[in-house]
Structure 1
């Protein structure tokens, strides 16, 4: 296994088991067909919790992406006001998961190499781009960068709700920036790996514990 350091303010296993709703948010130009998304679907299916997991395909527009997620979460909350919530986000999905986690402060949040300042990282992605794991394309326009910047949250409420997986050899995002952004969270610092977490099978046991799958 890739060497790692686990820093935790306490036990990172989610108390109470699997949340009523677990939302997996994929990264930029990715989809529900991504390797990590499909592995999460398989894990929840094998554990008998497939009905708890929702893996949406997110539109390119950040505002539309958040609206899509919020509509589903709000609909569930209306029918079950005491609903528990876990958000899992990869790359840009990790940025969205953080935005939503700060709106729903009861939620647990799991982050896989999350984007910290995507409005800077995605400046070279303007235009039509192919979606990975799909035949579709998206149109990413400059206004989306402003939308992302407007969503940014400067601090975290209850950082101990967050479980961060950060790869030292991420070739897209800076590992030290991730670790600093989520200071006070549970942190699995991989001393190697890559942005896609190609060794995700080795990381999965930690993610399963963080979402309450034991």
Structure 2
């Protein structure tokens, strides 16, 4: 079993959930990979696809948080592996339109404070990765927080209708209680296909 973790927008391998997942994998002897994704969705998808194809689909689970959940859905459909989605973006081209930096100066990465530019052309790159609805719904586990202050849990739940879902009452976009959910995530990851 291998875990490929895809972080969210302006995030990275230093995020709390990525670090908790890294530690949980180390404790269980499960290989863990969490690359720093490029800001360009096209480049991020290319990098994630390259990493995912290093493993057999039956031995890979992609864990994606927020925008990483959007990428994880696209990639799981493409390679046929499992995905765990943590407050995933469903329509990021819409949601990130206000973050376009063209002529406005850069944003900053949350953890490193390095500047990043989010260009308008990236919205088209996001649209190219759209999955209208997941297939083989048993491959997906959705974790959605009703108190998510960034994304609408109802949109997530509707998009992943028919998939296994953990709906957290309250909580937030960061999923503060994430560490307590890890055993349940690994139960799903280790289930036979």
Same fold (TM over 0.5): yes
State the Cα deviation string for residues 48-90 of structure 1 (Å, max 9, x = none). 22xx21011001000000111122233x25xxx6762111000
What residue number does 1:125 align with? 99
Q: Which runs of 5+ in 2 are unaligned?
A: none
Which residue of 50, 54, 78 maps to 1:71?
50
Aligned match for 2:125, one of 147, 163, 174? 147
* More deviation, 150-159/82-91: 82-91
Please, which runs of 5 or more residues in structure 1 have no aligned partner?
1-18
Q: 1:174 aligns with which of 152, 164, 180?
A: 152
Q: Deviations over 1:169-189 (max 9, x none)?
A: 111111111100001111001
Secondary structure, aligned partner of 2:117: strand
Question: What is the total number of aligned residue pairs between the two structures?
Answer: 187
Distance, in Å, in 2 between the alignment partners of 1:45 and 1:66 is: 26
Matched, 1:116 2:94: no
CA RMSD of aligned residues (A): 1.5
SS of alignment partner, residue 140 of structure 1: coil
Q: How does 1:83-102 map to 2 (within 5 A)?
A: 84-102=59-77
8 Å contact kept, 2:70–2:89: yes
When the two structures are superposed, what TM-score results if normalisation uses the length of structure 2? 0.92
Partner of 1:61: 40
- Give SS of 1:36's match: helix
Within 2, Cα distance between the matches of 1:32 and 1:59? 12
Farther off after superposition, 201-210 or 186-195: 201-210
Tell me which moved more, 131-140 or 199-208.
199-208
The question of 1:163 aligning with 2:141 is answered yes
Aligned match of 1:197: 175
State the structure with bigger RCO (CA 8 A, min sep 6), 1 or 2: 1
Shift of 1:208: 2.3
Distance 2:50 2:141 in 1: 25
